[in-house]
Structure 1
Amino acid sequence: MGMPSKHINSTAYVDGGSYLGIVAEFEEPKLAIATDDWRGGGMLGPVKLDMGLEAMDATLTMGGHTAALIRKFGTTAVDGVSLRLVSAYRADDGSAATSVNIFINGRFSEIDLGKSKAGDATEHKYTVPLSYYRREVNGVVDIRIDMVNGVFEVDGVDRYAEIMAILTS
């Protein structure tokens, strides 16, 4: 009998600084292949052609006021902010906990400072369009996407290497 592996706890690092106890929530980017419909002569219907990857966005929600992060807004570098989310997952079947590390680079495109009311908790939400994304589970890279350098690696196979070899030869 299997048991689901549940998210137990996490923390975040932004440009190397720890936000342990401050990070409230992290939303990983949606991974999607960009497609275009193609229906050529004689085809019964359209098929979706692979046109690369869709843009990726992640969101980070912090509890309270985070001045150091607000001061990163407006960086001109597409990879100007480095974030790392460390999570622990565990199934209630006696198996060992699983380590999941998410590494992303991007910049804050939007900061939602939310509402502030005396005596109430506050949260700041940061939207990060990504130029780089890497997901590791127990130290093994599952997915690595480097939009700028043309890397699209899944389970150790760079699915874009053939194209980059053509472009760089």
Structure 2
Amino acid sequence: MGMPSKLKDFNLFEDGFNYSGQATEVTLPKLSRKMEEYRAGGMSGPVSVDFGQEAMQLEWTAGGLVKESLKKYAAATHGAVQLRFAGAYQSDDDARVQAVEVVVRGRYKEVDMGTAKVADDTTQKFTMPLSAYKLTIDGEVIFDFDFMNGIEIVAGEDRRAAINKAIGL
């Protein structure tokens, strides 16, 4: 019987800036497909039709004040900010460490400055809708989504290749 790999440590980088010791929590993107039920004559039940990836977002929390991230709020372009999550997941049965990397592009939609109370912990929370998302585990690309360029790769398979070809991309 095996043990699950657990996150033992992580680091967060914003446009190359290292937030080691400041980033306290990261909520990685949730993946969800936009589906619509379809049922026509002769069908005994509905079938979900896949219309592609739903919107994704990443949230992260910092301890204290992170001035450089605040300066990036209200950026003019959809992919103005790049975040890179580097995580070390380790299994307690064989001590094997898996390197997990998440690279996203987007811009901050929300900045929660938290509460200000003397002699109490302070945090800031940043919410970023994404225009691109890439998940790599031990050097293997699992997901690669780039909405603006019509890229949707899952486990090495280009899931939009035929559609992109049909529309001249």
Q: TM-score range by the shorter chain?
A: over 0.9
TM-score (norm 1): 0.97
- Other-structure match for 1:136: 136
Q: Which residue of 1 aligns with 2:29?
A: 29
Residue segments in structure 1 that go unaligned for 5+ positions in a row: none
**Match for 1:68: what amino acid?**
E
- Establish whether residue 122 from structure 1 lines up as the match of residue 118 from structure 2: no
Counterpart for residue 104 of structure 1:
104
Q: Which residue of 1 aligns with 2:154?
A: 154
SS of the residue 2:72 aligns to? coil
Shift in Å, 1:166: 1.1
- What SS is found at the alignment partner of 1:20? coil
State the AA in 2 paired with 1:63: G
| Aligned residues with identical type, % of pairs | 37
1:93 CA displacement: 1.4
For the aligned residue pairs, the C-alpha RMSD in angstroms reads: 0.9
Aligned length: 169
Residues 129-169 of structure 1, C-alpha deviation per residue, up to 9 Å, x if partnerless? 00000001111101111111111111100111110111116
Q: What's 1:66 paired with?
A: 66
Cα distance in 1 between the residues matched to 2:57 and 2:29: 5
- Cα distance in 1, alignment partners of residues 52 and 79 from structure 2: 20
2 CA distance for matches of 1:146 and 1:165? 16
SS at match of 1:2: coil
**SS of residue in 1 equivalent to 2:162:** helix
Q: Supply the AA of the counterpart residue of 2:115.
A: K
Q: How big is each residue's C-alpha offset from its partner over 1:80-113, in whole Å with a ceiling of 9 and x where there is no partner?
A: 1000000001011124211000000000000111
Which one-letter code corresponds to 1:76 in the other structure? A
Is 1:75 equivalent to 2:109 in the alignment?
no
Which residue of structure 2 aligns with residue 166 of structure 1? 166
The alpha carbon displacement at 1:5 in A equals 0.4
Match of 2:91 in 1: 91
Distance of 2:168 and 2:122 partners within structure 1: 49
AA aligned to 2:143 is I
Q: Gaps (5+ residues) in structure 2?
A: none
Moved over 2 A (4+): none
Shift of 1:45: 2.1
Cα offset for 1:54?
0.5
Once residues 15 and 142 of structure 1 are traced to their aligned partners in structure 2, the CA distance between those partners, rounded to angstroms, is 22
